[in-house]
């Protein structure tokens, strides 16, 4: 519920602050007095775009602030989802700076326009005559039927499941595309992978094989040099080993005479031990070294396989070949994984479709039950609004397609007069008829769901007399459950309001300004009398105005 509105430096409004109560409020005023300015200010605070032309004084900022009592609207989830502070009295503020920049706030927290617009949908519903064409929108028609059918939660669940289904279908499409690409290269990748796997590559093996190959390929040369080394090292008379032993014996004889000789004796002993070990290794190596052409050929073949693979894959090491082997293995295995993933996803999609179909069946049945109720109530209300022969034929057709709100297609057919054929509402209903249908729809919806504050902007255009009276009664009845504003030129409607506000222009210095005033009982009599008879108010108009108010 809108509890207060303050406007500063907007269009013809210099400064305005007004409080509102619940129930049925009337706003009247001469054409051009500023009623559209008031709606424009509300539009801005609810998130509509603005420019510098909105500023009355281009040197000062424009500020519009609206207070809403929202405790009955169950909006805590919205505030949590948007990381905003919830307050039962929520304040929306919009500022337009002289630079042209705009700022928006919810409970003093900065927000973007989209957040303001999203919240605004729960707070105020503004309907003018040209906006009644929204009734021709199939989406709006479904929303009306679903409200009466109590389908809101079912539709929300359906829409959520449909989003998941679409996401799964997109993923399935991507997986199938990946599988198609993978299959194109699968045979070649498999061949390359098996070629590398059969080579039984081991990190570091290349260097070891190259060393073995060099030994096997130079056996005679190695043996010759090993033999010569052993001869010099281990000759019984002149070998290095024998000489070292004699040196050791000589130094041991004088080691006790001086620490220096003792150290030299220990060092030559260490050399002797090491050299003796070298000689043993030379002997062992010489004994193991044999000329083995078969082993040489085997090692050569292994090396050639490695060299060929390196050349083929344009790399220089076995480690790089092993990395390529792992990548190829992933590609080969990925086909199997993709096929498995696709199969699982197809199963999930089938399950979601089954759930959607089950949900859609419930939605459809609820709609079928609600359509006669809606038609009956519309005919009843519209008969009172001067359309006694109105008929509706609301056709619900099943579809194989999944829409955002179910699997139904809708034709909202309408006939206003006896003998006339049914036609689509958007094609055959006049502006005045659409206005009355819209009022009837809102009156019905107010019985089934918690509607926000509603503002009827001259929705009564083109009607008068008893029809205007009935429209006023409908709006008055709606105001028992919600806050209703009616901007009107009809005295019959104005008289039904719980509160009556007047928009008027005044001149302050050289400036013309628009103002909004809550009328007293006497002022209401004068305003309604003026609506009845014009500026020259007659006694009969005064009496008629009092009668209407009573």
Place 282 in a pLDDT band, splitting at 50, 70 and 90: confident
Most confident residue range from 214-218, 232-236, 473-477: 473-477
Q: What is the pLDDT of residue 333?
A: 64
User: In sequence order, which residues have a C-beta less than 8 Å from that of residue 285 and are 6 or more positions away?
Assistant: 226
Contact 148, 478 (CB under 8 A): no
Place 42 in a pLDDT band, splitting at 50, 70 and 90: very high
Q: What is the CA radius of gyration of the chain?
A: 47
Q: What is the pLDDT of residue 126?
A: 85
Q: What is the pLDDT of residue 392?
A: 92
Q: Give the residue-averaged pLDDT of 273-302.
A: 82
Q: Report residue 363 as tokens.
A: 């939605």
User: In sequence order, which residues have a C-beta less than 8 Å from that of residue 30 and are 6 or more positions away?
Assistant: 504, 505
Instruction: Check: pTM over 0.75? Answer yes or no.
Output: no
Place 452 in a pLDDT band, splitting at 50, 70 and 90: confident
Q: Give the residue-averaged pLDDT of 282-301.
A: 78
- Whether the per-residue pLDDT at 253 is higher than 90: the answer is no
Quote the DSSP letter at residue 420: P
* Helix (H) or strand (E) run with residue 327 in it: helix 318-384
Most confident residue range from 65-69, 234-238, 290-294, 530-534: 65-69
Place 378 in a pLDDT band, splitting at 50, 70 and 90: very high
Can you list the domains of the chain with their CATH numbers?
Answer: 1-129+450-519 (3.40.50.300), 178-337 (no CATH)
- Whether the per-residue pLDDT at 456 is higher than 70: the answer is yes
Of the candidates 129, 16, 22, the residue with the CA atom closest to the CA atom of residue 68:
22
Computed over every residue of the chain, the mean pLDDT equals: 87
Q: What is the pLDDT of residue 210?
A: 81
- CB-side exposure of 13: number of CA atoms within 13 Å? 29
- Whether the per-residue pLDDT at 129 is higher than 70: the answer is no
Q: What is the pLDDT of residue 299?
A: 77
Distances (CA, A) of 479 to 24, 39, 297, 330, 443: 5, 20, 103, 69, 10
Strand 423-424 vs strand 406-415: parallel, antiparallel, or unpaired? antiparallel
The pairs formed by 38-41 with CB atoms below 8 angstroms and a separation of 24 or more are 38/503, 38/514, 38/516, 39/126, 39/455, 39/457, 39/487, 40/10, 40/11, 41/5, 41/7, 41/10, 41/11, 41/13
Q: What are phi and psi of 349, to 5 degrees?
A: -60, -40
């Amino acid at each position: 519920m809108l509890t207060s509105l303050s406007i500063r430096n907007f269009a013809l409004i210099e400064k305005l602050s007004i409080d509102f109560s619940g129930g049925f409020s009337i706003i009247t005023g001469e054409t051009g007095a500023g009623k559209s300015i008031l709606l424009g200010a509300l539009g801005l605070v609810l998130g509509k775009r603005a420019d510098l032309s909105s500023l009355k004084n281009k040197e000062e900022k424009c500020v519009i602030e609206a207070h809403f009592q929202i405790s009955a609207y169950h909006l805590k989830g919205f505030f949590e989802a948007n990381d905003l502070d919830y307050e039962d009295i929520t304040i929306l503020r919009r500022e337009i700076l002289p630079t042209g920049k705009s700022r928006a706030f919810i409970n003093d927290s900065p927000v973007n326009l989209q957040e303001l617009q999203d919240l605004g949908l729960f707070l105020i519903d503004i309907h003018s005559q040209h906006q009644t064409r929204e009734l021709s929108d199939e989406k709006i028609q479904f929303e009306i039927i679903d409200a009466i059918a109590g389908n809101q939660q079912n539709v929300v669940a359906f829409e959520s499941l449909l989003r998941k289904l679409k996401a799964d279908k997109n993923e399935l499409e991507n997986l199938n595309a990946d599988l198609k690409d993978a299959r194109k290269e699968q045979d070649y990748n498999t061949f390359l992978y098996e070629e590398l796997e059969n080579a039984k590559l081991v990190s570091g093996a290349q260097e070891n094989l190259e060393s073995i190959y060099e030994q096997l390929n130079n056996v005679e040369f190695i043996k010759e040099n090993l033999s010569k080394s052993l001869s010099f090292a281990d000759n019984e008379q002149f070998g290095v080993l024998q000489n070292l032993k004699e040196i050791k014996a000589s130094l041991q004889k004088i080691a006790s005479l001086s620490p220096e000789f003792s150290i030299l004796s220990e060092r030559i002993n260490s050399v002797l031990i090491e050299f003796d070990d070298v000689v043993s290794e030379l002997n062992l190596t010489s004994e193991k070294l044999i000329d083995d052409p078969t082993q040489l050929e085997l090692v050569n073949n292994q090396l050639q396989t490695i060299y060929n693979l390196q050349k083929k894959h344009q790399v220089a090491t076995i480690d790089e070949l092993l990395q390529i082997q792992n990548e190829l293995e992933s590609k080969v295995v990925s086909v199997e994984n993709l096929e498995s993933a696709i199969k699982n996803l197809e199963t999930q999609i089938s399950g979601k479709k089954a759930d959607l179909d089950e949900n859609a069946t419930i939605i459809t049945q609820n709609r079928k039950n609600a359509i006669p109720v809606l038609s009956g109530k519309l005919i009843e209300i519209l008969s009172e609004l001067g359309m006694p022969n109105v008929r509706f034929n609301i056709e619900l057709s099943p579809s194989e397609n999944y829409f955002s709100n179910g699997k139904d297609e809708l034709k909202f057919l309408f006939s206003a007069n006896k003998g006339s054929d049914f036609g689509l509402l958007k094609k055959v209903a006049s502006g005045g008829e659409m206005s009355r249908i819209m009022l009837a729809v809102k009156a019905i919806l107010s019985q089934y769901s918690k509607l926000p504050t509603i503002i009827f902007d001259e929705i009564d255009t083109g009607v008068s007399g008893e029809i205007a009276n009935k429209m006023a009664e409908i709006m008055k009845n709606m105001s028992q459950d919600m806050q209703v504003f009616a901007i009107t030129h009809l005295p019959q409607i104005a008289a039904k309001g719980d509160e009556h506000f007047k928009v008027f222009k005044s001149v302050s210095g050289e400036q013309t300004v628009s103002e909004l005033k809550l009328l007293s009982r006497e002022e209401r009599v004068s305003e309604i009398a003026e609506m009845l008879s014009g500026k020259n108010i007659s006694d009969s108009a005064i009496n008629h105005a009092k009668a209407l108010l009573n």
